[in-house]
Structure 1
């Protein structure tokens, strides 16, 4: 029996590697290679593949949302392709629907492929959908955006590396933003709103239209009669928090 396989990955090299690995299996036929989620969704509905290698982080439509939007009656066996850390994926090692952690070697691919072959032998669509639902819920927990741990700042002919966790607060200064640590200040040519997108919102909170603060450095918050607040940091620095942003920090 020949199985129809579809690959969806926005990284060209990753797609080519998957195709090369599949050449060792004469029982599969790669019917489509898609570069984004919407293209993959259309191709899956059109070709009805048996097996899909699905990247999680893709433009236009990510792998999780794509998989959730599929008709259960036509659901293929799905292997997620991901760059997630191992700790988030170890729970999959003993299960039928598997993952490939980039970069992967031939041994890891073969192991995953054999799991997929066993899954394809399931004839009960209800069993297959139940398995998928479990993993869909799991992936939702770990498919959050990743945030950089290091920020690079050019200083003349040098490039300095700052740990994001060391940033106490960030302020807008004209066309620049200032990155303030406990020991130093650095200017970066970027807008505050753009830089905010790179920060974990659970740690970095906008307290003013021109200020973002790392909550790990906050000592206390003081209220004023006019509705504004002062944010006192552990190093005694005081930042202003406007009433328009208080809900970001005070619930």
Structure 2
């Protein structure tokens, strides 16, 4: 039997990894990949997939709101793909909802997918609806905003994992953003505005339309006669802060 699968994740690398994993299962037909919530919702309504790999944090509509919007009579089996902390993982496990914690290996994917295949064999719609009831419990538990703990960056044939706490500042560079750590710089194909949604505002602030900085790495702020400011980092790097964003740092 063939099962239809849809992937919804805003990270290109994550979509590629899931696609490569699914190629190992001949019973799977990948019907579409989506990079935002609204597109994914329309695609689910169009294809009526059996399984959806759903990222929690996506632009336009997050994974939780998307799942709440699904027709219970045509409900796919949802596998959440997330970078949540231990509390959220416990919520998944308590409610018997499967998940993939980024980054995951072949063994973890296989364990998850064997469980998915067993659940797909359910023919009793009441049983399948019972799974959705557990989704409802999960939604209540993770209703609070969550932020990424790592970011994945493709570097040639390798995928590097960068801790968010290691980021000193992030800058827009055309269609890319540059991620700066103490020793390295990485380019990521993503907009600065979208990447900002993944960052905890308690730790990261925008100081310019093209710059976000980690508060923990700021040494001092210097004012200029024209109303702009210089943000001096602990590594002596100097960043410009425009007057339009000064309230993010200066009250």
**Structure 2 counterpart of 1:60:** 60
* 2-structure distance, mates of 1:22, 1:163: 40
How far off is 1:112 after superposition?
0.9
Deviation string for 1:68-109 (max 9, x for gaps)? 101000000000011111332134347653011111111111
Alignment RMSD (CA, Å): 3.6
Identify the residue that residue 90 of structure 1 maps to in structure 2.
90
Residue matched to 1:195: 248
Deviates more, 1:82-91 or 1:99-108: 82-91
Q: Secondary structure at the match of 1:136?
A: helix
Looking at structure 2, the residues matched to 69 and 153 of structure 1 have their Cα atoms a distance apart, in angstroms, of 32
Tell me, yes or no, if the aligned pair for 1:52 and 1:79 is still in contact at 8 Å.
yes
| Larger Rg, first or second structure (1 or 2) | 1
Residue 125 (structure 1) aligns with: 125
Structure 1, unmatched stretches of 5+, are 155-159, 167-171, 179-186, 197-209, 212-251
**Partner SS state of residue 38, structure 2:** helix
| Contact 1:64–1:136 (Cα < 8 Å) also in 2 | no
Q: State the distance in 2 between where 1:9 and 1:193 align.
A: 33
Tell me, in whole angstroms, the C-alpha distance in 1 between the residues paired with 2:33 and 2:22.
13
**TM-score with structure 2 length normalisation?**
0.61
TM-score, normalised by the number of residues in structure 1: 0.61
Match of 1:105? 105
Question: Does the residue aligned with 2:141 lie in a helix, a strand or coil?
Answer: helix
Q: Which runs of 5+ in 2 are unaligned?
A: 148-199, 208-212, 232-238
Match of 1:21 in 2: 21
Alignment of 1:153-192 (within 5 A): 162-163=215-216, 174-176=227-229, 189=241, 191=244
What do residues 103-133 of structure 1 show as CA deviations (whole Å, max 9, x unaligned)? Answer: 1111111111111111112222233223223
- Deviation, 1:34, is 0.8
